[in-house]
Amino acid sequence: MALIGQPDYDASYMWSNGRTTSEQSRYAAPVRVAINEIDFRGSVDFVFYHQVTAGLAAQVSQEYLMSVAAGTYADFAAGPPRGGFPITLVGSGFDGYDNNPSTIRVRFSTEGSAVPSVDSAGGHATPDTTLNATAAGAGASSADYIEVSAVSVKPTEVVVIAPAVSLQEGEINNKRGFPCWNPPCRRTVVTIAINGVDFVSRPDPLVFYFFNDPFRWLGLMIKELLLGLVALIALCLINGIVTWRYRFQVYDAYLSLKYRIKNKIFERKYPVFDHFKDEL
């Protein structure tokens, strides 16, 4: 049987009893042992659960598309590197293990270290050795991953408090552009293990960006604001020069337009004067 690397939120899988994961999120099978290879004994159940991650949400960043409204979720979100704000992971089966927030672990990982790949024999391949494979404790940080516990759990939601991260290690983007308008930005892949051991993501990984929101005024960042001010000042100077050079022509045109409009309004308001104008 092929090993499922990352379960898809929109797909259903089947247990050995013929029921799908949509119908039954947990499946228990008895574990029996035969020390003589014949007589199997035992009645302890081994419980399987179906844990699936759909998306995440955070409302701390003001950048475009980076703040996800409450009650919805997206493929990515963002927040400042100081941490301390809530992040909600949305999915299903989060209560399938022991429904205990302290057991649940969430990782913010560098690409390639989030979830070990599956080799052709059905086992887990060796993790990427180019990364700093330092075991992280609660809230600990390394270039490899950052790991935190949950603060609350529901069947379809897990809430964690974002850790404080460094913008000097991990997968850092120093180029200015979406989503990193204020570099440096740290990109992390989010995975969750409701049993504290087996981390699960999606076929398309969930991404969380850590960066400081740029200062904006009237929706513009400093560079765009300065460029806009320079352009506005240049237009004002050009307008002043042109207006002074042709000030008499402009004033004559203004008077002509002004009295043309006033005469039309006067004639419309007092049509009786049209008769006297025709006689004159």
For residue 55, what pLDDT is reported?
Answer: 92
For residue 90, what pLDDT is reported?
Answer: 93
163-204 residue pLDDT tens: 999 998 889 999 888 888 889 999 999 999 999 998 988 888
Percentage of residues in the chain having pLDDT higher than 70: 79
pLDDT, averaged across the chain? 79
Query: 48 near 19, Cβ under 8 Å?
Result: no
The residues, any chain, with a CB within 8 Å of residue 10's CB and separated by 6 or more, are none
Tokens of 11: 């797909």
Poorest-pLDDT segment among 6-10, 45-49, 197-201, 220-224: 220-224
31-40 residue pLDDT tens: 889 988 888 8
Pairing of strands 86-92, 76-79: unpaired
Poorest-pLDDT segment among 6-20, 107-121, 201-215, 228-242: 107-121
Say if residue 276's pLDDT is above 70: no
For residue 50, what pLDDT is reported?
Answer: 86
Residue 41, helix vs strand vs coil: strand
Tokens of 153: 């759990």
For residue 136, what pLDDT is reported?
Answer: 39
Query: 99 near 85, Cβ under 8 Å?
Result: no
Say if residue 227's pLDDT is above 90: no
pLDDT band at 140; cut points 50, 70, 90: very low
The residues, any chain, with a CB within 8 Å of residue 101's CB and separated by 6 or more, are 149, 150, 151, 152, 153, 158
234-266 residue pLDDT tens: 888 888 787 777 777 777 788 888 777 777 776
Average confidence (pLDDT) over 105-120: 66
Say if residue 13's pLDDT is above 80: yes
